[in-house]
Amino acid sequence: MTADGFSKAPPPGARPDWTIDQGWDAYTPAEHRVWTTLYERQVRLLEGRAADPFLKGLEALDLHRAGIPDFRRINAELDRLTGWTVVAVPGLVPDDVFFDHLAARRFPAGQFIRAADELDYTEAPDIFHDVFGHVPMLTDPTFADYMQAYGKGGQRAGRMDRLHNLARLYWYTVEFGLMETPAGLRIYGAGIVSSKAESIFALDDPSPNRLGFDLERVMRTPYRIDDFQQTYFVIPSLQALLDASRRDFAPIYSRLETLPDVPIEAVLDSDAVITRGTQEYARNQPPP
Ligand code: HBI
Ligand code: FE
């Protein structure tokens, strides 16, 4: 695997674009039960926490409790709604492969599901993280456009060695994004909605910062991959996120050359502060 995420050969059995058949008939009753357990736990928790487009998407795709969804079924509805389809992959794919799929409105979802004894955390994104976490938002036309724009941006960034800035944008929106609504802050990030503990922490805990989304600021901010985020960025709307992604990134990239990263827990004078976190949680964690 080349470290910069460029293509290496796909694993045995996978097609050149790294896709595989979902093989829905081969899932065992135990695997379906893991999905149902995770689904029922999360969907109870997310009323009043997840953003409306997420909840509407869950309904539209009928990701009901009766086990792991069959991509053939959900794709018929998803394709009708926004032209997106879910494709099965063995796990993480190289960045350039990932961007190519997103640019063509295909969402690569892990085909496997976590074991019953690791309900709370999985190393690699499994089918619950990808399909429960990411796919409902793809039923929203504005978010669907954003994800495709992200893929196209990634195809361009790959050639400009700006992948790490794009990865931060993805992380602080698609994975861990929050949104303002008249009813208060709501979650749209897949990494949060698919996590029981972080669905609570991200909205309720006084520890993390919650700052107004700013594209350049996000691109300068490193993130945690092993624990709750220390800063969450809040968008005013999905339209605002889409508009931000449609700007020409080249002048931003050249400004980023001259600007240092922002420390992960920092709050800048230029930040729109929604909550200034205590960082209590992060301070009490054992050193990595
Ligand atoms: N591959 N299957 C899969 N799922 C992801 O979310 C994913 C990936 N490869 C790369 C990647 N995400 C990140 O580097 C993105 O920021 C590009
Ligand atoms: Fe993800």
pLDDT at position 7 is 56
State how many domains the chain has: 1
Q: Name the closest-CA residue to atom 1, ligand 1.
A: 92
* DSSP 8-state code for residue 267: -
pLDDT at 49: 98
Domain assignment present for 168:
yes
Atom of ligand 1 nearest to the CA of 170: 16
The answer to whether residue 157 sits within a structural domain is: yes
Given this model, what pLDDT does residue 66 score? 82
Q: Whose CA is nearest to atom 2 of ligand 1?
A: 92
- Are the C-beta atoms of 213 and 219 separated by less than 8 Å? no
Q: Which of 167, 170, 166, 226 is nearest to 198 (CA)?
A: 226
pTM of the shown model: 0.95
Q: What is the pLDDT of residues 126-136, one digit of tens each?
A: 999 999 999 99
**What range defines the domain where residue 254 resides?**
24-283
14-28 pLDDT per residue, tens: 999 999 999 999 999
69-92, pLDDT tens digit by residue? 999 999 999 999 999 999 999 999
Nearest ligand to the CA of 177 is 2
Q: Who contacts 149 (Cβ-Cβ below 8 Å, separation ≥6)? A: 242, 245, 246
Q: Are the beta carbons of 230 and 279 closer than 8 angstroms?
A: yes
Pocket of ligand 1 (CB under 6 A): 89, 92-93, 95, 98, 108, 125, 154, 167, 170
| Residue 36 domain-assigned (yes or no) | yes
Is 240 part of any domain? yes
Within-domain flag for 17: no
User: 139 with 57: CB under 8 angstroms?
Assistant: yes
pLDDT, tens digit, for every residue of 194-251?
999 999 999 999 999 999 999 999 999 999 998 999 999 999 999 999 999 998 888 9
Q: Does residue 124 have a pLDDT over 90?
A: no
| Residue 199 is assigned to a structural domain of this protein | yes
Q: Which CATH number belongs to the domain containing residue 258 in this structure?
A: 1.10.800.10
Q: Is residue 2 part of a domain?
A: no
99 CA closest ligand 1 atom index: 17
